[in-house]
Structure formats: C-alpha cells, structure tokens
A and B are shown apart, each in its own frame.
Chain A
Amino acid sequence: NAGVTQTPKFQVLKTGQSMTLQCAQDMNHEYMSWYRQDPGMGLRLIHYSVGAGITDQGEVPNGYNVSRSTTEDFPLRLLSAAPSQTSVYFCASSYSTQGGNNEQFFGPGTRLTVL
C-alpha cells in the first residue's frame, strides 16, 4: 500500500491564483481530512469528509473548497490564493467507525508559499 499520497510536495503561487492540492489513499478509508500546520499553532482542520459525496467544514474553511467524488481522492482547492494561506498542508485518512477511535494516517505534506 502506498498509504496517503499528496501532490505536489512544494508549490509557489502568486496572490489571486487558484490551485488544487491532491490527496489520495489506497486503504479504503471512509474518513479523510485536510489540515494546515503553522508555527506555534499546531494542526488546524480545514475540511473533512466521512465518505464519498459527504464533506463538511472544519475550524478554518474560508478560502478553501473540497469535494469527495470517490473514496480514494480528496482534493483541496484554493480559490484565490492569499499570503495568509502560506502553510504546510497535510491530508489524513482513517477507517471511520461510530466509535471514532481509529488513528489517522497522514500524507507527507505540501509546502505552499503564496507571494
């Protein structure tokens, strides 16, 4: 298994540009999520999905869109990039149960810089 994969590893954007961060998992996990990691702030949840066709907002959703058309893929779209979106982005997945006691598997991250 490849686990959770993310592309690209690095990206530089200009303010106002749009782009999509890709995330895929091959573990048949129901739950997928996107986090951003900023110094001194830990990881903050952007959006999450509990299954194909179902998405919801996390703690910091503004400026980002997601969709979940398949179990495997969960892309994150930046609509109009802003310098405040400079961060490291992590995708994660887990086998969701009603109990919610499953550990999450993280991708290697995408380092995004917005100029």
Chain B
Amino acid sequence: AQSVAQPEDQVNVAEGNPLTVKCTYSVSGNPYLFWYVQYPNRGLQFLLKYITGDNLVKGSYGFEAEFNKSQTSFHLKKPSALVSDSALYFCAVRDPRGTDKLIFGTGTRLQVFP
C-alpha cells in the first residue's frame, strides 16, 4: 500500500541552526513527492516537489529537500532556521493509482527557538 511516514511529531531547533524534517515513503513505481507547510489557522502552502532529475530540490523560503531512492526518503532541510519557520510541515506522495491524488504524512511540527 502507498504510504508516507513522518517519524517525528515535533522538531525543535535553535534559530540560525540547520534543520531537518524527515520523511520516508512507500509507493509502487516512480514517486512524485511534495512538501507543504501550514501556518497556524491557515491552509497548506506548497514548498517544493520532486518529480525527476536532480536529487536535491530547492523550494520556497530557502527550503530544500533531498530525494534518496535507496533509502526511500525525502527529507526537508534548511541551512539556517528562522523563528518564522515555526509551523506544521507535511510530506506527501502522489498516489500512483490516480492523477493528482496525494497521500499525506501525519505532519511534523517545527519549533524554532530564538
């Protein structure tokens, strides 16, 4: 079955330090992978996606993600965290059985401390 796992409910990091939010996936065929961010009381916003090509994908707000096929992972990273990055982050994979259907992880809350 297709699935996405975000093993950490919460990640805490000090402002200025690098951050990583982990995501692993299980899907048949080539994965199309996405990261979304949700700020309090808001809808989800698209950050970046991996479809094909370079394993390192750059997205909005200085975020990037590394696709690792052998480890079936798509971790979200940022070299220097900001307090304003504090939010809920979702990893998602396209359901290969449908066109734009997405399967979401359970989310990871990122807390950046000043």
Interface residues of A (CB under 8 A from B): 4, 31, 33, 35, 40-45, 48, 50, 58, 90, 92, 94, 96-109
Smallest distance from the beta carbon of A47 to chain B beta carbons, Å?
A: 11
Cα distance A36–B63 when bound, in Å? 26
The one of A4, A100, A106, A109 that contacts B100, using a Cβ cutoff of 8 Å: A100
Nearest A residue to B6 via CB reads: A42
Asked if B73 CB lies within 8 Å of chain A CBs, one says no
Interface residues of chain B: helix, strand, loop or mixed (majority): loop
Nearest A residue to B35 via CB reads: A103
Smallest distance from the beta carbon of A75 to chain B beta carbons, Å?
A: 17
Cα distance A102–B106 when bound, in Å? 21
Cα distance A55–B81 when bound, in Å? 41
- Establish whether residues A100 and B99, one from each chain, have CB atoms under 8 Å apart when the complex forms: yes
Nearest A residue to B100 via CB reads: A31
Smallest distance from the beta carbon of B88 to chain A beta carbons, Å?
A: 10
Cα distance A103–B34 when bound, in Å? 8
Question: For residue A99, which residues in chain B have a CB less than 8 angstroms away from its CB?
Answer: 51
- Establish whether residues A102 and B90, one from each chain, have CB atoms under 8 Å apart when the complex forms: no
Cα distance A4–B104 when bound, in Å? 20
Asked if B44 CB lies within 8 Å of chain A CBs, one says yes
Query: B32-54: contact bitstring with A at CB < 8 Å (1 yes, 0 no)?
Result: 10101000011111100101000
Name 28 A/B residue pairs within 8 A (Cβ), A-sorted.
A31-B100, A33-B101, A42-B104, A42-B106, A43-B104, A44-B104, A45-B102, A48-B98, A50-B99, A90-B43, A90-B44, A92-B44, A96-B100, A98-B99, A99-B51, A100-B94, A100-B99, A101-B49, A101-B94, A102-B100, A103-B46, A104-B46, A105-B46, A106-B36, A107-B43, A108-B42, A108-B43, A109-B42
